[in-house]
């Protein structure tokens, strides 16, 4: 099915261009039309995708490039705490770590964001102040997404009103697997509208696909396109609560989707793998994949994030190893 271009040129930052819903595509707004479009996307070669991801994962990089990659990865982390036992004190501690990951080294970059439940947004916002570190909030009945739409929208509005800069929503995977694509589209579009503030500004919307429940790589590609067509600023692999979470082949497929979407529409969409990325070595594999699949434009916190709670510690220890020539003990970094 042909595209009708939605925007003319490339975009440089998240604030320049808002993702545009698919009303400008040559399809009607119906389940049948969306089905024809999504099932008309090229199928994923499972063996090929896994082999390419494995090959990219073996790439070695020079020492100078590794130092750059470690700092870049730190700047892309959404430092996350999403537990029932979260307290204001824990969130403040996490915010302090996000702003100054290595208190002994002022050259260490801050993380991109702190990700919390909606009831902790105000605490995180106050703690982060004018640091530039964003506050991301999970919403829409995270992690299951099993709630009535009015509850999901209220969840989102509460987080936005409390000051969230970014909303990480979950799609209804049951509806997606049942082929109710228009329902998912409308859900994303309504949540995006709920992200708008009274002053006209909008929190950025990350659409969590929960790829571990989507069953096939073809479904990952379809869900990625659906999230972009409906207006998501980012597409995100996982909640971190379901395994498998952020695998390299799945992320590769999502990177192909955002690359192809920009080529077709001129609109650039971000990607966020989340869950299971724990080591600097793994993070560098993802950055190599970003560069090789989507391109260097995505090597920026505006366009690529890591959703993680423990990754930052290993990045910091590897960074110190490069500076001092030795590994620090586990007490070098704070325990999240």
* Gyration radius (Cα) of the chain, Å: 19
Angstrom distance (rounded) from CA 4 to CA 27: 10
Backbone angles phi, psi at 185, to 5 degrees: -55, -50
Candidates 125, 152, 206, 236; catalytic one: 236
Q: Is the peptide bond before 244 cis (omega within 30 degrees of 0)?
A: yes
pLDDT grade, residue 328 (50/70/90)? Answer: low
| Average pLDDT score over residue span 177-189 | 95
| Average pLDDT score over residue span 8-28 | 45
Q: Note the pLDDT of residue 13.
A: 46
| Average pLDDT score over residue span 184-197 | 96
Q: Which contiguous run of DSSP H or E holds residue 177?
A: helix 173-177
Task: Report CA-CA distances (Å) from 72 to 68, 205, 280, 286, 330.
Answer: 6, 22, 11, 12, 22
Task: Report CA-CA distances (Å) from 311 to 78, 283, 314.
Answer: 10, 8, 6
* Catalytic residue check, 206: no
pLDDT grade, residue 60 (50/70/90)? Answer: confident
Candidates 125, 152, 206, 272; catalytic one: 272
Look at the chain and count its residues.
Answer: 336
Q: Note the pLDDT of residue 323.
A: 84
DSSP H helices, 109-180, are: 121-128, 149-161, 173-177
| Average pLDDT score over residue span 204-210 | 98
Residue 254 pLDDT more than 70? yes
C-alpha closest to that of 97 among 318, 312, 248: 312
| Average pLDDT score over residue span 220-246 | 95
Candidates 168, 172, 282, 302; catalytic one: 168
pTM of the entire structure?
Answer: 0.90
Residue 21 pLDDT more than 80? no
Angstrom distance (rounded) from CA 153 to CA 191: 6
* Catalytic residue check, 281: no
Output the six-digit token pair for 4: 């009708």
113: left (phi over 0), alpha (psi -120 to 50) or beta: beta
Angstrom distance (rounded) from CA 177 to CA 46: 19
Handedness of CA 291, 298, 251, 309 (dihedral sign): positive
Angstrom distance (rounded) from CA 296 to CA 293: 9
* Catalytic residue check, 119: no
Domains along the chain with CATH numbers: 30-324 (3.20.20.70)
Output the six-digit token pair for 190: 């309504």
């Amino acid at each position: 099915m042909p595209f009708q271009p939605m925007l003319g040129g490339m975009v440089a930052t998240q604030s320049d261009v808002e993702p545009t819903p698919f009303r400008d595509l040559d399809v009607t707004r119906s389940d049948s039309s969306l089905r024809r479009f999504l099932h008309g996307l090229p199928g994923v070669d499972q063996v090929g995708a896994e082999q390419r991801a494995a090959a990219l994962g073996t790439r070695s990089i020079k020492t100078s490039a590794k130092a750059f990659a470690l700092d870049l990865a730190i700047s892309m982390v959404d430092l996350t705490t999403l537990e029932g036992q979260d307290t204001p004190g824990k969130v403040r501690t996490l915010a302090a770590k996000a702003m100054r990951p290595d208190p002994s080294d002022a050259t260490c970059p801050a993380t991109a964001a702190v990700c919390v439940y909606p009831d902790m947004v105000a605490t995180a916002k106050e703690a982060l102040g004018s640091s530039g570190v964003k506050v991301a909030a999970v919403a829409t009945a995270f992690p299951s997404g099993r709630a009535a739409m009015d509850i999901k929208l209220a969840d989102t509005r509460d987080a936005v009103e409390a000051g969230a800069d970014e909303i990480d929503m979950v799609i209804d995977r049951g509806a997606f697997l049942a082929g109710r694509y228009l329902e998912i589209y409308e859900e994303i579009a309504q949540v995006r509208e709920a992200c708008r503030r009274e002053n006209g500004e909008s929190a950025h919307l990350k659409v969590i696909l929960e790829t571990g429940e989507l069953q096939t790589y073809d479904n990952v590609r379809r869900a990625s396109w659906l999230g972009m067509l409906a207006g998501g600023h980012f597409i995100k692999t996982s909640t971190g609560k379901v395994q498998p979470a952020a695998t390299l082949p799945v992320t590769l497929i999502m990177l192909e989707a955002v690359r192809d979407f920009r080529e077709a529409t001129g609109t650039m969409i971000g990607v966020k793998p989340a869950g299971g990325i724990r080591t600097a070595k793994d993070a560098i594999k993802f950055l190599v994949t970003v560069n090789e699949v989507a391109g260097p434009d995505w090597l920026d916190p505006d366009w690529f994030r890591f959703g993680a709670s423990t990754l930052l510690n290993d990045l910091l220890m590897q960074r110190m190893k490069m500076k001092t020539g030795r590994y620090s003990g586990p007490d070098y970094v704070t325990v999240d």
